[in-house]
């Protein structure tokens, strides 16, 4: 069943990874994230309203009320070892400056009593006030910046984080930092949860599970252990469903020194290679895939990926290109050598202004999908539309009602 999910908890998880220096994009699991963010984005289903707020320095809550379908309503809590994002009041002053933190240029508003920390201040004490639950000056500054760019942080530019293999100020040892999240779906008698723990400066453990009560109770877990050495990364996966075992790996060619941007000092691009292999003991079946990726940042960001699944005879070619600072387009061609079937998909993401984002994607098999996101103060409104691909037979046989496959509205409040 398709249903609408809130963006609040996923954003907190990404922020946790960023603040603890974990590059979630340097993994084969996110090998094609740039193109997927533009071509495989989800839209709201039915009508849903959600709220997300920090109820304590290290505790956040999320409530999702879905009117259609009603079974998607849920309540959840997220706890972390360090304070995470909290929405800050909008600034009445329009004046702003720029502070260069490493390789990133971020906007910093003028504060009456807060000063923007320098790079040396952040590096000298990266875990300041995180354990005792107090909000450090760095955290308050970051919350204000994230509040200003709330819509962009949760919706736009997810493909942007995939442009860098090292985009973090420090690789200090964050061993012991953790994040735990649980979500309850009352009408489905289902609980989902995840636990993330930094085991060392280069490793992370993730345990995810789902528990279903009722006439046919079920309990499933997925355990993942990832290692990130910048130049290469690996990940082992075990799942109780089907007794699945898997291994992923990624290797980056060229210079991957800390703080380096997409291209190296000579302006050349970077090539990455990766693959995965998995085996299901219950069904005695397995699979594998291999991929190559070329990424360049001169003068505009671009990425070309090729993923091959030799067992299924499937090959996927994707090109992602930044057309200008607030617009990115992508195209993907999928072909299966056994069935001789193919699919072409194209899409674009356009940030009209600070508070409006438009996404559109078309494929010859799935039709047209559109998403419009608008921010009004602390509320994000989303409207999605999904149209059939083969319009002529649809209109002739089933009428205009089947012209629209799906339509949804979503209201998200960040308190």
Nearest to 27 by CA among 220, 254, 255, 202: 202
Q: Which helix (H) or strand (E) holds 39?
A: helix 33-39
- CA angle (14, 19, 21) in 5-degree steps: 95
Q: How confident is the model at residue 115 (pLDDT cuts 50, 70, 90)?
A: very low
Which of 82-86, 91-95, 207-211, 348-352: highest mean pLDDT?
207-211
Whole-angstrom distance, CA of residue 21 vs CA of residue 259:
12
Tell me the per-residue pLDDT of 140-173, one tens digit each, with 9 for 90 and over: 777 777 777 788 777 756 666 555 544 444 556 7
As a whole number of angstroms, the distance between CA 60 and CA 183 comes to: 12
Structure tokens at 331: 């195209």
How far apart are the C-alpha atoms of 35 and 332, rounded to whole Å? 8
What value, to the nearest 5°, has the Cα angle with vertex 84 and ends 142 and 184?
145
Q: What is the predicted pLDDT for the residue at 267?
A: 53
Q: Give the tens place of pLDDT for each residue, 200-254.
A: 989 999 999 999 998 889 999 999 999 999 899 999 999 998 889 999 999 999 8
CB atoms within 10 A of CB 49: 18
- The pLDDT confidence band at residue 56, using thresholds 50, 70 and 90, is confident
Cα–Cα distance measured from residue 344 to residue 102, given in angstroms and rounded to the nearest whole number: 39
pTM: 0.81
| 139: its two tokens | 């955290």
User: Reduced to 3 states, what is the DSSP secondary structure of residue 246?
Assistant: strand
Residue 256 banded pLDDT, cuts 50, 70, 90 = low
* Residue 326, phi then psi, degrees to nearest 5: -120, 20
Coil, strand or helix: which one is 38? helix
Residue 288 has a pLDDT of 94
Instruction: Answer yes or no: is pLDDT of 3 > 70.
Output: no
DSSP notation for 110-177? --SS--PPPHHHHHH-TTTTTTTT---HHHHHHHHHHHHTHHHHHTTTGGGGGG-S---S-----TT-
| 124 has a pLDDT exceeding 50 | no
* Paired sense of beta strands 404-414 and 46-56, if any: parallel
């Amino acid at each position: 069943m398709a249903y609408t999910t809130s963006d609040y908890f996923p954003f907190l998880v990404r922020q946790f990874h960023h603040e603890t220096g974990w590059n979630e994009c340097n993994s084969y699991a996110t090998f094609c994230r740039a193109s997927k963010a533009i071509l495989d984005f989800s839209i709201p289903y039915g009508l849903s309203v959600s709220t997300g707020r920090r109820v304590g320095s290290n505790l956040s809550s999320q409530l999702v009320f879905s009117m259609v379908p009603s079974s998607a309503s849920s309540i959840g809590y997220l706890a972390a070892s360090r304070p995470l994002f909290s929405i800050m009041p909008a600034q009445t002053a329009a004046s702003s400056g720029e502070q260069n933190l490493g390789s990133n240029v971020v906007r910093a508003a003028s504060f009456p009593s807060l000063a923007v920390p320098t790079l040396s201040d952040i590096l000298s004490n990266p875990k300041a006030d995180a354990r005792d639950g107090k909000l450090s000056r760095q955290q308050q500054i970051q919350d204000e910046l994230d509040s200003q760019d709330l819509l962009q942080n949760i919706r736009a530019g997810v493909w942007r984080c995939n442009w860098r293999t090292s985009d973090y100020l420090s690789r200090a040892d964050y061993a012991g930092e953790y994040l735990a999240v649980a979500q309850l779906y009352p009408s489905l008698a289902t609980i989902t949860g995840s636990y993330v723990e930094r085991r060392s400066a280069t490793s992370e453990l993730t345990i995810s599970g789902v528990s279903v009560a009722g006439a046919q109770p079920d309990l499933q877990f997925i355990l993942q252990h990832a290692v990130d050495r910048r130049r290469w990364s690996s990940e082992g996966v075990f799942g109780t469903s089907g007794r699945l075992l898997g291994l992923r790996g990624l290797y980056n060619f060229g210079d991957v020194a800390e703080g380096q941007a997409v291209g190296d000092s000579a302006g050349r691009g970077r090539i990455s290679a990766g693959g995965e292999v998995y085996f299901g003991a219950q069904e005695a079946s397995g699979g594998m895939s291999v991929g190559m990726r070329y990424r360049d940042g001169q003068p505009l960001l671009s990425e070309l990926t090729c993923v091959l699944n030799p067992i299924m005879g499937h090959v996927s070619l994707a090109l992602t290109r930044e057309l200008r600072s607030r617009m990115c387009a992508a195209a993907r061609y999928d072909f299966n050598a056994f069935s001789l079937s193919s699919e072409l998909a194209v899409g674009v993401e356009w940030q009209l202004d600070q508070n409006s984002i438009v996404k559109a994607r078309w494929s010859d098999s799935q039709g047209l999908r559109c998403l419009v996101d608008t921010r009004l103060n602390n509320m994000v409104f989303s409207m999605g539309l999904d149209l059939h691909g083969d319009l002529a037979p649809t209109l002739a046989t089933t009428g205009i009602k089947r012209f629209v496959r799906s339509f949804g509205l979503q209201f998200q409040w960040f308190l």
